[in-house]
Each structure stands twice: as structure tokens, then as C-alpha cells.
């Protein structure tokens, strides 16, 4: 009977098999990775295409909309509730083509018609960031890259012990009707650099617990520099002043648009220069206008009860600072000598406004024979 033998694989044969399997595995992984990357790119491109369908319709109705307006509309529509699939992609706004674009490695990669290296006409859009404390909000704003448009959702009550200082950042701050920012010992916001573009909406800003000295610097929202500010559906309250412009070098010129908002303070507004537009707003206290071009449309003014100044002669003699004049809802004083007031002719225009309280328009007793700022008033608030 013959003896049978069993022969196994040699070491060399095993190594060859292992090498072949390794090559196949590598090819499979590389192929899978490439497939996933292509799929993620396709997902992001589809998302941008859908966003731009919305943008096209929105721009038909609002042709002069800014990038921030578009971002607000997208968030309100719920269209920004997603995460990009590709790790190297970011969203941006293309000012040239008025489209949302995908950016990768400093290149616009989608849509095809917008492809080019990123330049000054392409501004990054950040996805909405939820913040529930003022420190995080302040840090998030200060960390915004130059040109990037941030979007911050305030959740609950964000308490800030010091002002949130805004430089030349671009951002939207949205309280979604439930967010509150309180500042118990100082103002809430200070815009201190030229070039800020700020949208605040659906928010309550409360500085009624402030114990600081009565200075304009402690307004709930202070604008020191040339900025573009849009406020909608904001409730302001303060123990002194809610919204103010107090230029530091005499040449600042903010542009401010306010709608559907309520201001409650001894001096709800302190305006010295710039272009201001208010619509459907209510002011509880003595509104101060000492310069600038200001328009009030369908606004309600409710006079302050007892103020620091008891009569109009005292108000006219005040050289600087807000004038909370007893019994008055509006106080317009021209000819102030101090540099915070704009030189040349300013205007205040009332359209379909109502007033409960006294209205005063006069010239500062310290003015020269030819006031440094002459204010032209048109329209008269209707007494109620």
C-alpha cells in the first residue's frame, strides 16, 4: 500500500496571496473613498441648487436685498437647517452673480457659471450657531473672519456683565422671539469700528438693571462709528437710553433702519448724525434728535412723566448728553456746539405718526447766530 503525503503552501506562496489580498483591499478602499467623496460633492451641489432656487424667487420680490437679507430669509424658511456633507466645502455669497456658491480650497467650485478663485466679491456664510450665554456670543462675534457673515441664534436669557463690543464684523443676531440679552451693569452692544453690518431681530435687549452713571455710553445699543444696522422686532428697555449714536471724531455716519420695535427709557433715542429710518415703532420716553437725517413712519411717541429737565429753557441750555424733558415725547434741539452733532442742514420727517405728550423744537442757547446744525422738520405727529 502506497503512503500518501499532504503538501501545504510554501511561505513564498502565502506571502504572494497576502500581497494580492492587500492590493485588492487597497483598491477597494480607494474606490470606496472616491465614491463617498463624489457622493458628498453631489449632495452639497444639490443643496446649493435648492438654496439658489429659493434665492432667485426671493430676489424677484426683493431685488435690493443684501446678503444678510437673503441669509435671514433662508433661515426663516428653515432652509439652512443642514450640515455640508463634504468636509472641505463651505458656503459663500457671490455678490457678482447674486448666488450662493460652494467654496473649496479658496476656489468657487459650484455652480459651474460662478467658478473662479475666491476674491472680494465672494463672502463666506456661516451656518446658524446657537448661543445661550453672552460670553460665547461675544467671542463668536469677535472671532468672525473679515468679510464672513455670521448667524447667531440666541437661546433663552444671555446675561452680559460687560458690553458686547462689535468691530467691523458682519452678522445676524436672531432671538426667534424668545431670546433676551440683559446687561445689569453696562450697555449690551457697542459698535466701535467702521464697516460693521449688523442685523438684529426678534430679540429683547434689557438694561433696566443698570446701575452705571447716566451716560450715552451706557445705552442698550450704542453706535460709535459708520455702520449699517438693521433692527426688526426688537424690544429695548433701559434705565437711561436705549439706542444712540455718539460719534467720537465728528465724521461718523451710520445708516440705521428700524421696524416693528419698541423702545422704553427716559431717552429712547439719542441721535446726533447719520441716516435713520423708523417704521411701525413705539417710543416710551423723550426722543432726542440733535442732528442727522431721520424719518419716522407710522410711529407712536408716548411722553415721559418726570424727567431730569423740568422745562424747555433748561433743555435748550444743555450743551451735551441726552435731554429727558418732563412731559415730553419728542425733543429736537438744533445748534449744539459740541462736535457730536452733524454740521450743516439736517432733517426730521414725521409721516402718519401719533404723539401722546409734548413736542419741543428749539435752538440751543449756546448756539452761534448761525447754528452749527440747522434742522428742518416736516410733518407733525397727530395728538392722541
Q: Measure the CA–CA gap between 96 and 94, rounded to whole angstroms.
A: 5
Contact partners, residue 92, CB within 8 Å, separation at least 6:
100, 101, 102, 103, 108, 118, 122, 123, 124, 125
Mean pLDDT of 208-214: 62
pLDDT tens, position by position, 31-44 = 666 767 888 889 99
pTM equals: 0.84
Q: CATH fold of 124-383, please?
A: Pectate Lyase C-like (2.160.20)
- CA-derived radius of gyration, the chain: 29
pLDDT for 282: 97
Domain ranges of the chain: 23-117, 124-383
- Alpha carbons 198 and 196: distance in angstroms, whole number: 6
Cell digits for 58?
426671493
Place of cell 450715552: 216
What is the model's pLDDT at position 89?
92
pLDDT at 6 over 60: no
Question: Does residue 215 carry a pLDDT above 60?
Answer: no
Beta strands in 35-126 (DSSP E): 90-94, 99-104, 107-110, 116-117, 122-125
Amino acid at each position: 500500500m502506497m503512503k500518501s503525503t499532504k503538501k501545504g503552501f510554501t511561505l513564498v506562496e502565502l506571502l504572494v496571496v497576502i500581497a494580492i489580498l492587500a492590493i485588492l483591499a487597497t483598491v477597494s478602499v480607494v474606490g470606496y473613498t472616491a465614491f463617498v467623496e463624489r457622493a458628498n460633492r453631489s449632495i452639497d451641489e444639490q443643496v446649493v441648487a435648492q438654496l439658489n432656487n429659493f434665492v432667485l424667487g426671493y430676489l424677484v420680490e426683493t431685488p435690493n436685498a443684501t446678503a444678510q437679507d437673503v441669509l435671514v430669509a433662508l433661515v426663516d424658511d428653515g432652509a439652512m437647517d443642514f450640515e455640508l456633507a463634504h468636509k472641505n466645502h463651505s458656503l459663500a455669497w457671490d455678490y457678482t452673480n447674486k448666488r450662493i456658491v460652494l467654496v473649496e480650497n479658496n476656489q468657487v467650485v459650484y455652480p459651474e457659471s460662478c467658478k473662479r478663485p475666491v476674491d472680494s466679491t465672494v463672502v463666506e456664510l456661516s451656518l446658524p450657531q446657537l448661543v445661550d450665554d453672552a460670553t460665547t456670543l461675544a467671542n463668536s462675534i469677535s472671532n468672525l473672519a473679515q468679510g464672513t457673515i455670521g448667524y447667531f441664534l440666541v437661546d433663552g436669557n444671555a446675561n452680559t456683565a460687560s458690553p458686547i463690543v462689535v468691530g467691523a464684523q458682519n452678522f445676524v443676531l436672531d432671538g426667534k422671539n424668545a431670546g433676551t440679552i440683559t446687561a445689569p451693569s453696562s450697555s449690551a452692544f457697542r459698535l466701535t469700528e467702521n464697516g460693521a453690518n449688523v442685523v438684529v431681530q426678534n430679540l429683547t435687549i434689557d438694561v433696566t438693571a443698570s446701575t452705571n452713571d447716566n451716560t450715552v455710553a451706557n445705552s442698550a445699543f450704542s453706535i460709535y462709528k459708520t455702520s449699517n444696522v438693521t433692527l426688526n422686532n426688537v424690544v429695548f428697555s433701559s434705565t437711561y437710553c436705549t439706542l444712540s449714536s455718539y460719534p467720537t471724531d465728528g465724521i461718523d455716519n451710520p445708516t440705521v433702519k428700524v421696524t416693528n420695535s419698541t423702545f422704553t427709557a427716559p431717552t429712547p433715542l439719542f441721535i446726533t448724525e447719520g441716516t435713520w429710518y423708523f417704521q411701525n415703532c413705539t417710543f416710551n420716553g423723550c426722543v432726542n434728535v440733535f442732528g442727522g437725517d431721520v424719518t419716522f413712519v407710522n410711529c407712536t411717541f408716548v411722553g415721559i412723566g418726570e424727567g431730569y429737565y423740568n422745562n424747555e429753557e433748561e433743555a435748550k441750555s444743555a450743551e451735551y448728553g441726552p435731554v429727558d424733558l418732563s412731559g415730553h415725547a419728542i425733543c429736537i434741539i438744533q445748534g449744539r456746539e459740541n462736535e457730536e452733532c452733524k454740521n450743516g442742514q439736517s432733517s426730521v420727517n414725521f409721516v402718519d405718526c401719533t404723539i401722546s405728550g409734548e413736542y419741543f423744537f428749539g435752538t440751543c442757547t449756546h448756539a452761534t447766530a448761525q447754528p452749527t446744525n440747522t434742522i428742518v422738520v416736516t410733518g407733525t405727529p397727530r395728538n392722541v
